[in-house]
Amino acid sequence: MTALQRAATTTSAVGVAAWIAPKLWRRAARFVAWPSKGSAWRIVALILMLINFKNLPFVWHFRLFRSYIYQIYLQPTPLPPRALFQPLVTRCARAPLSECDYNIHKSNSTYFTDADNARMQYMAVLLRTHNSSSGTGATANSAANGAANTGAGAPPAADGVGDNFIVALGAISCHFRREIKPYAGYEMWTRLLSWDRKWLYTITHFVAPGSGAPPSSYTLQPWRTPASSSRAGAGAGAAADPADPARAERLKKAVFATSIAKYVVKNGRLTVPPERVLADSGLLPPRPADKAEADDLVFSVESGAWTWEKVEEERVRGLRLAEMFNSLDGLHDEFTGGASGVLGEYNDLAF
């Protein structure tokens, strides 16, 4: 998005806001109807709505589809292959009182609804290129990048994924580290962890605002600079070396919780191997045909290019954790149906 486009968008938004604001003010004034009878309760109700706006009916749906629509239809910048494992940062609304439990901190269950939004936006980013170029272009990518037939019953690589594919959530788990206080700010960092023959694995870190060093670049927002980052004053500057123990310890302390999820891609009744989906999206480097060609494809830190070997190394590293998460599917078999009796039956509510 150029400066001219941003200026036009900002001007339009200001114009719409200037037109709507007086109407909203008049409606709010009529609703409160101060100082008529009952107006104090209306003011209290309005304040409660505002401070808990995040949890009002349909706000979750708005957050979810707003992010999805922007990334699928309005995002002007394509995702390059070098950014396959880069995180997407979602600045979340503060934890309102309605999300807090009896310990007066963000309830464990609400992490999942927040993660829904972050993961939806990330998956839209990851698969947007395929979504907009399915068909001949996607088929060419799949064949050129050598997506292997890694799924039972899956179509050959040259067939591509096709247009009518869906992405379904298979499982999610959240591991808590420390609490989030009422109305405290936090961010969600979501990235691709790994993939196997069936599943795409993503992880989401809930972290304190401004965690980490100022990014050297914003892949999907090239108009932004490190100087404009909220992390510019986070004191990470010289500690941006991943091998620095002090930096690793600082980042570890910034984590509130970590969530892992797995997705499956379906084309009708067929399961599409994730490798093919990523290849069709143009996110995988060419697979070397032989050892001589592999020796020519050297990972370059300066250019940020990723070779097939480097991608595979990162995939295998993440897969060690993903396989442990995937093994939890065996818990389904632990349901005994009360064969040896139950403790009792009780209602959740009073009726």
Please indicate whether residue 182 or residue 240 has the higher confidence score (pLDDT). 182
Cα separations (Å) of 93 from 53, 63, 135, 300?
10, 10, 38, 38
Q: Which of 194, 166, 351, 179 is nearest to 261 (CA)?
A: 194
In a domain, 149, yes or no: no
What proportion of the chain, given as a percentage, has pLDDT over 90? 46
Cα separations (Å) of 57 from 47, 60, 63, 115?
16, 7, 12, 18
pLDDT at 106: 95
For 272-322, how does the pLDDT look when each residue is reduced to its tens digit (9 = 90+)?
999 999 998 889 988 877 544 545 544 443 455 788 899 999 999 999 999
In a domain, 167, yes or no: yes
The CATH number of the domain holding residue 72 is 3.10.129.10
In a domain, 6, yes or no: no
Examine the pLDDT at 350 and tell me if it is beyond 80. Answer: no
Alpha carbons 5 and 28: distance in angstroms, whole number: 33
Identify any residues that bridge with 88 across adjacent strands, giving them in sequence order.
190
Domain membership of residue 106 as a residue range: 55-134+163-213+248-286+308-329
In a domain, 11, yes or no: no
CA dihedral 303, 145, 308, 152 (to 10 degrees): 150
Backbone angles phi, psi at 107, to 5 degrees: -65, 145
In a domain, 31, yes or no: no
Q: What element of type H or E holds 178?
A: none
In a domain, 89, yes or no: yes
pLDDT at 134: 45
DSSP-H helix ranges across 70-176? 110-133, 136-144
In a domain, 209, yes or no: yes
Q: Residues near 162 by Cβ (< 8 Å), separated by ≥ 6?
A: 134, 135, 267
Residues 51-74 have a mean pLDDT of: 91
CB 98 within 8 A of CB 55: yes
For 182-219, how does the pLDDT look when each residue is reduced to its tens digit (9 = 90+)?
999 999 999 999 999 999 999 999 999 988 777 888 99
- The number of domains in the chain is 1
Q: Residue 248 — very low, low, confident or very high, per pLDDT cuts 50/70/90?
A: confident
CB 196 within 8 A of CB 322: yes
The identity of residue 45, as a single letter, is A
The identity of residue 258, as a single letter, is T
Rounded to the nearest 10 degrees, the angle between the axes of helix 3-32 and helix 39-51 is: 150
Whether pTM > 0.85 for this model: the answer is no
- Residue 202, SS3? strand
Biggest alpha carbon distance in the chain? 85
In a domain, 146, yes or no: no
List the beta strands (DSSP E) in 13-153.
88-92
